[in-house]
Structure formats: structure tokens, C-alpha cells
Amino acid sequence: MELAADLGYLGPITLKWIGNTISGPQDIQSTATGDVDFGQAFNGAIIKLIAAGSPIKSVVGSYGIDKDIFGGFYVLDGSPITSPRDLFGKKIGMNTLGAHYEAILDEYLKQGGLSQDEIKKVIPTVVPPVNTEQSLREKQIDVAVLSGILRDKALTRGGIHQIFSDYDLFGPFTAGSYVLREDFIKKNPTTTRQFVEGVGKAIEWSRTTPRDQVIARFKDIIAKRDRKEDATAIQYFKGYGVAGKGGLIEDADFTRWTDWLKANGQLKKDVAPAELFTNAFNPFRAGS
């Protein structure tokens, strides 16, 4: 989002930073309650919140998975864990529960032939992303979910290897979206359109611009916002992984998660894709 603003794609929209959250579900809950105007999360988390009655809607893809941008499940070299059944009784460190990585873990176990009762023997454990690598190396957890910059930094230090990833299971797909409240969309259609268009253009800019220029832009953004951040990690940035052009969303970006949610008792009723997202404000859709 800050990239879109820095590129001038948000037009008159200005961003006001009020703080960080550590998970997508917390982010979109803050949107639903009106604490912030927009949020982003794993699409499965968005399904749950909308099914529970929250008046939000996905308007543009925010992150995804491809061959370069994925979440991997890592163990220490020498670990006896090589297959789904080896995970019985093991702690799997991830940023939050009930979201993207728990869904991926359950799908891996399911594809490995485990029953729902057997899946319950595996222990997803919340670990802040910045602490996940250290927790694995100190053997506080048995498996670490690592992605993006944190994964690449961990791999440069060595001593760990991947057992599976979300890309292994599903190939490329859009995994998360930006959401707005329904009342915000209704009252501010022009702002909504500018928001969606800006995000979409920024996604495409990051795809088509040489990587060194993208990284240089991010370093400049980090320096200008002056939050006392370490910008060295940005050198590992490889993209957003959004599958749809300009952040366009497909039915499958949501429907792939409904069976998982139902099996876990987290979804009590069917929710139609039209209730979950809209591409109406995206200029990259066909016929725009």
C-alpha cells in the first residue's frame, strides 16, 4: 500500500500509520470494528469473519504464492521429520492460528492420508515471525514456518531445510486480499476505486520493474517514513506473488478454503463468493 502511495497511484488518498499487527485476522478485525479503514489477511480468515456477520468485503488481492514467493515448513538439518506422520506430537511454529499456514499444514496432513482425529495430534504453535527461526534453532519448536525475507535470511545462515510448502500443494495462487467495510464502499465509491486501482497498478509495477529498482524504491520509502527500521532485509524482496493481474480475485481464491473451514468446524454455513469479494472497482477486469 505504501508503494502505491509513493508511486502516486493513490491520487488524493493519504495514508496514516497508526501501528502494526502481527496477524491478518487481527488486521481485518480492526477494519471490521472501524479502528482502521482497510486491512489485509488470508482469504480463509476473511471467509470466517464475513460468515460471522462482519460487514467487510475483499476488493483486491494483496499477496500470493508462486515459485519464488511461498511459505515453507522447515526443520533443522538432521531432524527425523520427513513425512506427515512424523509430525504427530510435534510443535509447528507459525504467526497465527486459524489462518493461512494452519490451513496449509492441515492440507499437507490430509494429502498424506491422515484422518481428522490424527491431524489433531499435530500442534500448531503461535510464534512471532521475527522469533520463528530462533525458536527452531533453539529447539523450542520442531518445525518453523518461514516465508519471504525471514526465510531467505534463515537459509543464508544454513542448517535448515524445507519439508514442504504451500506452493508444493497448490501451485501459484492469490492467498490474501485487502478488505474494506461495506459501508465505506457504499459511501466512498470513488475512493474505493482509487484505492483498488492504486494497489493493482503497484502490483503490476513491482512485476515489470527491474528488481534492483524495486528494492531501491522500498529502501527510499523506509527511510522517508522514519520508523527506526532496519532496511537491510528488503534486499530479499522478490514480489507480492499475487496471481491475478492488478490484484483481480477469482472464486477459487476463496472456495479452496471452505472445505478446510467446514472440516475444522470454523464455518457453519455456506458463503457465496459474491458475498466475499468484488472486482467491480478494479480497472484490470475484463471490459473495464
Instruction: Give me the pLDDT at residue 195, please.
Output: 96
Residue 131, pLDDT above cutoff 90:
yes
Residue 26, pLDDT above cutoff 90:
no
Residue 20, pLDDT above cutoff 80:
no
Instruction: Give me the pLDDT at residue 192, please.
Output: 97
**Of 170, 204, 233, which closes a domain?**
170
Tell me the CA end-to-end span of the chain in Å, nearest whole number.
Answer: 22
Q: Are residues 75 and 200 in the same domain?
A: no
Instruction: Give me the pLDDT at residue 268, please.
Output: 84
Q: What is the pLDDT of residues 53-106, one digit of tens each?
A: 999 999 999 999 999 999 999 999 999 999 999 999 999 999 888 888 998 999
Cell of 232: 537491510
Task: State phi, psi for 164 to the nearest 5 degrees.
Answer: -170, 170
Instruction: Give me the pLDDT at residue 149, please.
Output: 84
Q: How far is CA 66 from CA 40, 177, 253, in A?
A: 19, 16, 14
Neighbours of 42 (CB within 10 A): 26
Q: How far is CA 95 from CA 22, 66, 67, 84, 144, in A?
A: 7, 20, 21, 20, 10
**Of 131, 148, 170, which closes a domain?**
170
Instruction: Give me the pLDDT at residue 287, please.
Output: 65
Asked if the structure places residue 287 within a domain, the reply is no
Q: What is the pLDDT of residues 118-130, one digit of tens each?
A: 999 999 999 999 9
**Helix, strand, coil share (%) of the chain residues, nearest 5:** 45, 15, 35
Listed in sequence order, the residues at least 6 apart from 190 whose beta carbon sits closer than 8 Å to its beta carbon are: none
Residue 17, pLDDT above cutoff 80:
no
Residue 226, sorted as left (phi over 0), alpha (psi -120 to 50) or beta, turns out to be left
Q: Are residues 54 and 75 in the same domain?
A: no
Mean local confidence (pLDDT), 158-168? 97
Asked if the structure places residue 281 within a domain, the reply is no
* Angle 146-148-153 from CA coordinates, rounded to 5°: 75
pTM recorded for the entire structure: 0.84
Q: What is the pLDDT of residues 226-281, one digit of tens each?
A: 777 777 778 888 899 999 999 999 999 999 898 888 877 888 888 999 999 999 99
**Of 170, 202, 219, which closes a domain?**
170
Asked if the structure places residue 266 within a domain, the reply is yes
CATH of the domain at 124: 3.40.190.10
Asked if the structure places residue 288 within a domain, the reply is no
Query: Residue 215 belongs to what domain range?
Result: 2-66+172-276
Mean local confidence (pLDDT), 3-23? 80
The angle that helices 24-32 and 43-51 make with each other, rounded to 10 degrees, is 40
Amino acid occupying residue 155: L
Asked if the structure places residue 283 within a domain, the reply is no
Asked if the structure places residue 243 within a domain, the reply is yes
Instruction: Give me the pLDDT at residue 97, please.
Output: 86
Cell of 211: 528488481
Q: Are residues 166 and 178 in the same domain?
A: no
Q: Are residues 151 and 206 in the same domain?
A: no
Asked if the structure places residue 97 within a domain, the reply is yes
16 and 88 in contact (C-beta within 8 Å)?
no
Q: What is the pLDDT of residues 203-233, one digit of tens each?
A: 999 999 999 999 999 999 998 887 777 777 7
Instruction: Give me the pLDDT at residue 21, please.
Output: 62
DSSP 121: T
Domain count of the fold of the chain = 2
Q: How far is CA 265 from CA 34, 41, 117, 172, 273, in A?
A: 27, 20, 13, 27, 19
